[in-house]
Structure 1
Amino acid sequence: MEAKALQPTVIEKRKKLALPHSYTLIFIIIIAVALLTWIIPSGQFDRKEVTVDGSPRTVIVPGTFHTISKVGENGDLRQGLSGILSAPMAGVINAADVVAFVLIVGGAFGIILQTGAIDRGLIALARRMKNKGILVIPISMIIFSLGGSTFGMSEETIPLYAIFISLMFVLKFDSITAILILFLGTQIGYVGSTLNPFSVLIAQGVSGVEGNPQLWLRFIEWIVFTGVSIAFTMWYANRVRKDPRKSVVYKNDKENRERFIKADSGKDIAFSGRDKLILSGFVVALGLIVWGILSKGWYMTEIGAVFVGLGLYSGLVAKMNQKELAENFVKGCGEFVYAAVIIGLSRGILVLAENGMIIDTILNSLANMMEGLPKFAFTTIMLIAHNVITFFVPSSSGEAALTMPVMAPLAELVGINREAAVTAYQFGNGLTNLISPTGGVLLAGLAIARISFGQWIKLIMKLFPILWVISAVFAAISAYVGM
């Protein structure tokens, strides 16, 4: 009896293992990378300018790697306390365009959300869909995955997080389901890239592969990856709708619902003509952005301008005066500050690794390790190598320019077609960005939803091993089917 009486006390004292706050985690990684600059020899490949699809690119020259003294004409490459403390500031400066984009879009959304039109529109949509709300998941994820696979959609989804989080709450799901739809949707498109100019096409151009010879295989890969991701998201969303306590963000969402759903969905809320005008403007703005991205090459500056215009339009339709417009804009910026800062902090990790000149050393070591391996082992190790490199270079285009001049010739030396090297690269980069704390878009989405990185890892690691095994199999198939 005494043992039983003591048992609840013992259970109450048990502490759950939890990752630190996202800012803390990034700072820990900054310290770890700084230490690596003392341990890993500094080195560098020679570089040259090439033209890929009409755009200039700086790529490394294979066989030119040479070590560099830690202390010499390049200064002291060992990153100490000064480097650690300055990394956050250097990272924010380095990522200034993305940080500014997030803040400007956040301010515009502050105006749009304050009108209440989106809340009332989502509630009206949920009532109309009734029990068919689950269909939002596959339809949306197919669209976003296509965007990631064909034209590299990624940062463009940041303005949509607030909308999808609100929609998921109205449909009785949780906030992390919105992250799965938007981030997993676009990122799985990167994993299964078909025509992505920032991933596959750059890697093929740098590698000397012409005509996308395995496009048929890439379409199969995209279908499989997207299908598995949709199935996982629908399984999780259904599970949460049946029992909200099974949500990994159950406690967070109690507060989140108040932030994202201001209207009382239990009352008979009128969806007014003014609301329809605002939402129509929103749809037109999204259409304009898609057109601009596809036909005019728009990026963050142009997209930000569209959202500023949309915010002003929404405020005027809602009859806000100039003071209300300004205050709501500032309030919106405040809601997105957490996301903007975390993007800059994560970029500080890359700044430290570059200043310590250890990225080329890691790349050279991995390339040497893979020589002489059989095809399946080679593509698998290459996949792992890109998993590692992506942690330091999350940018798909940046990693392609850095690694493919070495990886593609190395693959050819061991009797593997260069397209298999491209495939291993796209899988490694896309998959690592699903779980890496150095990826700005993931951290921005989590920050907007007030979800910790640990909560995301707890969920996505149920899917990640499945995707990784599928990737290893497809990379091997790419090596065996030839060009």
Structure 2
Amino acid sequence: MRILKIKWAVPHCYALIFFIIIIVAILTWCIPSGSFDYHSVTLPGGETKTLVVPGSYHLLDKVTVEGDLRQGVSAILAAPLEGIIKAADVIAFVLIVGGAFGIIMRTGAIERGLHVLAERLAGKGILVIPLSMTLFSLGGATFGMSEEVIPLYAVFISLMFALGYDSLTAILILFLGTQIGYVGAMTNPFSVLIAQGVAGIQGNPQLWLRAIAWVVFTGMAIIFTMWYAHRVKRSPTISPVYESDLQIRSQFMTTQSGTVTFSWSDRLIIAAFVLALAIISWGLITRGWYMIEIGTVFLALGLFSGLIHKMNATTMAENFVEGCKEFVYAAVVIGLARGILVVADNGKIIDTLLFGLSEILDGLPHYAFTTLMLLGHNVITFFVPSSSGEAALTMPVLAPLGDLVGVNKEAMVMAYQFGNGLTNLISPTGGVLLAGLSIARVGFGQWLRVIMRLFPLLWITSAIFAAVSAWV
């Protein structure tokens, strides 16, 4: 008897979002339409916020003389375009920042700086780990460093072999280093800033708490990596990649990169980069900067880097376009995700869903609420691994939900960034992780054997920080 085997795979992110649009359109026919009343409040600093009037929820008729709230085929087909139009400010921000980074990365200053760091630390043994991971984590936390480390995998694998460690140590330094920066992100424009923008948060009111979280998470990652590296160096055979490393060791040891020249122009570009991050942090803390101001600083940094690298106008423009290309995927995801909200909003079912969830969750301790939100984002990230895409998909609904149950929006953003960052540590769909594993000839199961020793502790710490954010 022949058994029929059914293969199942997660659909492309665009297809998944379009399927969700269809499902939400169907729900507008099934879920009662309703609305809260809203009022504007002026805060002491002069900021105006729109808040829900408690107890004001009321039902609406589906069909009236003014129109039909049930969303049909035409509404489904129009939703992606409407979503992109409504998310134009966020999409523009992503593309401008992506283009600026296209120029910065094309100069090669950051890559050469990391090469030189690796070479200079080669004789320092175990010190390579904390110093390198601190830099990579800071890159992930501040400007969203991720794919930029892919060219460094071969360098660090060679370096780890030379120092007596294994290839997984290199992956921990590079991938865990940058990803833990995403978990404890402070000003990452592709996670925190987008989520805050979608949620309507001005400035970065809990930047101090994010900085503490970054220190704690980075410290945990460094200690774990040093512990793992020490054990492997002392007893190489306990490494889960011991056999595969024997086969590739000679290849990497004979193909180490040569000496890299770190020029004065590279130093200027990196110094300008650090200064730009400092200016952005100052603007967020003291001036309540938003996406326009932050995007302006990044664009200025990109242009400055191009000039220092002696690019002409045409070359800078071409590199800007290349940088935009890298982020078009994320930008379109943001627009499509907003299309889900367009359909739900036009069908007037968002307030109904919020009312139902608030009735269920109302009265829960804040720590229980933020923990549930963290779990929810853990699940969502498996299907939408993009940090910017998930922010655009979830924040329009979850941020107002926090208002209804008395949990500040920053806690909702933290639950999102923790859930997204942690799940991507163990998700099989991460391009940067899979690139590193393939270069080192390491299986995904071997990676899980190592990282799952740290994951539960990181998750518990995330739940604590999310609860503290809500309490503050």
When normalised by structure 2's length, the TM-score is: 0.65
Q: Hey, what's the Cα distance between the residues in 1 that align with 2:344 and 2:226?
A: 39
Cα deviation code 1:285-337 (max 9, x no counterpart): 22222233223332222222222222222222222222222222222222222
CA gap of 1:51–1:398, structure 2 versus 1, over 3 A, is farther
Matches within 5 A, 1:313-328: 313-328=304-319
- Paired position in structure 1 for 2:160: none
* 1:338 CA displacement: 1.8
CA gap of 1:112–1:400, structure 2 versus 1, over 3 A, is closer
Q: Hey, what's the Cα distance between the residues in 2 that align with 1:94 and 1:461?
A: 40
Matched, 1:46 2:37: yes
Matches within 5 A, 1:53-202: 53-54=44-45, 55-73=47-65, 75-130=67-122, 131=125, 132-136=127-131, 139=134, 157-158=143-144, 160-161=145-146, 163=148, 170-172=155-157, 173-174=170-171, 176-177=175-176, 180-186=179-185
Cα contact 2:84–2:339 (8 A) shared by 1 = yes
Q: Secondary structure at the match of 2:358?
A: helix
Q: In the alignment, which of 400, 403, 413 is matched to residue 402 of structure 1?
A: 400
Between 1:340-349 and 1:399-408, the stretch displaced more is 399-408
Q: Hey, what's the Cα distance between the residues in 2 that align with 1:275 and 1:467?
A: 35
Cα deviation code 1:424-447 (max 9, x no counterpart): x7655533455579xxxxxxx978
The amino acid that maps onto 1:119 is: E
Between 1:339-348 and 1:387-396, the stretch displaced more is 387-396
- Matched residues, number: 399
Matches within 5 A, 1:453-472: none
- Paired position in structure 2 for 1:19: 10
Cα contact 2:361–2:369 (8 A) shared by 1 = yes
Matched, 1:431 2:415: yes
> Percent of aligned pairs with the same residue?
40
Q: Hey, what's the Cα distance between the residues in 2 that align with 1:316 and 1:324?
A: 10
The amino acid that maps onto 1:352 is: V
Cα deviation code 1:353-388 (max 9, x no counterpart): 2222222112222333357x7x66x96368547977
Matches within 5 A, 1:76-475: 76-130=68-122, 131=125, 132-136=127-131, 139=134, 157-158=143-144, 160-161=145-146, 163=148, 170-172=155-157, 173-174=170-171, 176-177=175-176, 180-186=179-185, 227=216, 231=220, 235=224, 266-370=257-361, 380=368, 384=372, 402-403=400-401, 406-408=404-406, 421=407, 430-435=414-419
The amino acid that maps onto 1:328 is: N
Q: Secondary structure at the match of 2:258?
A: coil
CA gap of 1:46–1:157, structure 2 versus 1, over 3 A, is same
CA gap of 1:231–1:468, structure 2 versus 1, over 3 A, is closer
RMSD, aligned CA:
5.3
Q: Hey, what's the Cα distance between the residues in 1 that align with 2:328 and 2:69?
A: 32
The amino acid that maps onto 2:405 is: M
Q: In the alignment, which of 9, 25, 34 is matched to residue 25 of structure 2?
A: 34
Cα contact 1:42–1:357 (8 A) shared by 2 = yes
Q: Hey, what's the Cα distance between the residues in 2 that align with 1:176 and 1:477?
A: 27
Q: Secondary structure at the match of 1:186?
A: coil
Q: Hey, what's the Cα distance between the residues in 2 that align with 1:143 and 1:394?
A: 21
Cα deviation code 1:73-98 (max 9, x no counterpart): 55222222222222222222222122
CA gap of 1:472–1:276, structure 2 versus 1, over 3 A, is closer
Q: Which runs of 5+ in 2 are unaligned?
A: 158-169, 242-254, 381-388, 422-428, 436-443
CA gap of 1:39–1:344, structure 2 versus 1, over 3 A, is same
Cα contact 1:118–1:279 (8 A) shared by 2 = yes
Q: Hey, what's the Cα distance between the residues in 2 that align with 1:318 and 1:477?
A: 45
Q: Hey, what's the Cα distance between the residues in 2 that align with 1:67 and 1:276?
A: 62
CA gap of 1:344–1:399, structure 2 versus 1, over 3 A, is closer
Q: Hey, what's the Cα distance between the residues in 1 that align with 2:294 and 2:60?
A: 42
* 1:66 CA displacement: 0.8
Q: Secondary structure at the match of 2:143?
A: helix
Q: Secondary structure at the match of 2:59?
A: strand
- Paired position in structure 1 for 2:441: none
Cα contact 1:44–1:68 (8 A) shared by 2 = yes
